[in-house]
């Protein structure tokens, strides 16, 4: 089994049962990391490993401190696979710096790319689906459609800024525009104007 297959298998095992930050999320981030690296540079192996592993601690410790715990678990796992210490550190830094909940600022090209790739999954059509799901599971949204516009505007507010790469900023602009249109449409339907 290649190292990347081992990493994917490990991530799959850790994320089993996770509904919002599951393997499907990590696989989308993986592809965005590859796409952003085409413009920005960055080590693809580091990015692929970091994207698959970035949320592995969510099922274990919840969202609040998952970046810290995830970096710790990844360090241990990757060292055990025999990866050189500087690659382990590069991957661990990207993981500990990917979250808006806390952690250090992203210092490397790889950490900035992972941060941006992850943020894109919080906005746009994907962001609406994930946001509603996250809100229902976490209790911030109670399922009342009348409250959904406010809830989604809160998501927009939270994730509208702070990107590091030009391409991600362009994609984010289009995704946020769609979210605002969606909220507008939702309001029209709730007011029986559409
Ligand atoms: Fe995360
Ligand atoms: Fe994530």
Q: What is the DSSP string of 118-139?
A: HHHTTSHHHHHHHHHHHHHHHT
Cα distance between residue 30 and residue 16, in whole Å: 18
| CATH pick for 1-105 out of 2.40.30.10, 3.40.50.360, 1.10.3210.10, 3.40.50.300 | 1.10.3210.10
How many A from CA of 29 to the centre of ligand 2? 7
CA 184 to ligand 2 centroid distance, Å? 27
DSSP 103: S
Give residue 57's pLDDT.
Answer: 98
Q: Which one of the ligands is nearest to 23 CA?
A: 2
Residues 162, 119 contacting (CB under 8 angstroms) = yes
| Ligand 1 midpoint to CA 104 (Å) | 13
Structure tokens at 118: 């992850």
Do residues 26 and 94 touch, judged by C-beta distance below 8 A? no
Separation of CA 193 and ligand 1 centre (Å): 38
pTM: 0.97
Q: How far does the centroid of ligand 1 lie from the alpha carbon of residue 24, in Å?
A: 13
What would you report as the CA-atom Rg of the chain, rounded to the nearest whole angstrom? Answer: 17
Ligand nearest to the CA of 26: 2
Give, rounded to a whole angstrom, the gap between the first and last alpha carbons of the chain.
55
Give the pLDDT of residue 90: 98
**pLDDT tens, N- to C-terminus, the chain (194 residues):** 999 999 999 999 999 999 999 999 999 999 999 999 999 999 999 999 999 999 999 999 998 899 999 999 999 999 999 999 999 999 999 999 999 989 999 999 999 999 999 999 999 999 999 999 999 999 999 999 999 999 999 999 999 899 999 999 999 999 999 999 999 999 999 999 99
Say how many Å lie between the CA of residue 166 and the centre of ligand 1. 21
Chain region(s) in the chain for CATH 1.10.3210.10: 1-105
């Amino acid at each position: 089994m290649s190292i990347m297959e081992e990493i994917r298998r490990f991530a799959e095992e850790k994320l089993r049962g996770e509904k919002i930050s599951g393997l499907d999320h990590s696989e989308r981030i993986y592809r965005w990391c590859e796409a952003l690296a085409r413009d920005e540079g960055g080590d693809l192996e580091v990015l692929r490993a970091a994207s698959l592993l970035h949320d592995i601690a969510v099922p274990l410790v919840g969202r609040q401190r998952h970046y810290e715990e995830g970096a710790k678990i990844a360090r241990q796992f990757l060292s055990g696979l025999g990866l050189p210490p500087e690659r382990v550190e590069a991957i661990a830094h990207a993981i500990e710096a990917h979250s808006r909940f806390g952690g250090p600022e992203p210092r490397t090209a790889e950490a900035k790319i992972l941060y941006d790739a992850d943020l894109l999954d919080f906005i746009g059509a994907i962001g609406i689906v994930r946001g509603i799901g996250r809100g229902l599971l976490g209790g911030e949204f109670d399922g009342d459609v009348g409250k959904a516009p406010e809830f989604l505007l809160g998501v927009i507010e939270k994730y509208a800024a702070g990107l590091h790469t030009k391409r991600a900023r362009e994609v984010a602009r289009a995704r946020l525009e769609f979210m605002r249109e969606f909220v507008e449409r939702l309001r029209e339907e709730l007011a029986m104007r559409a």
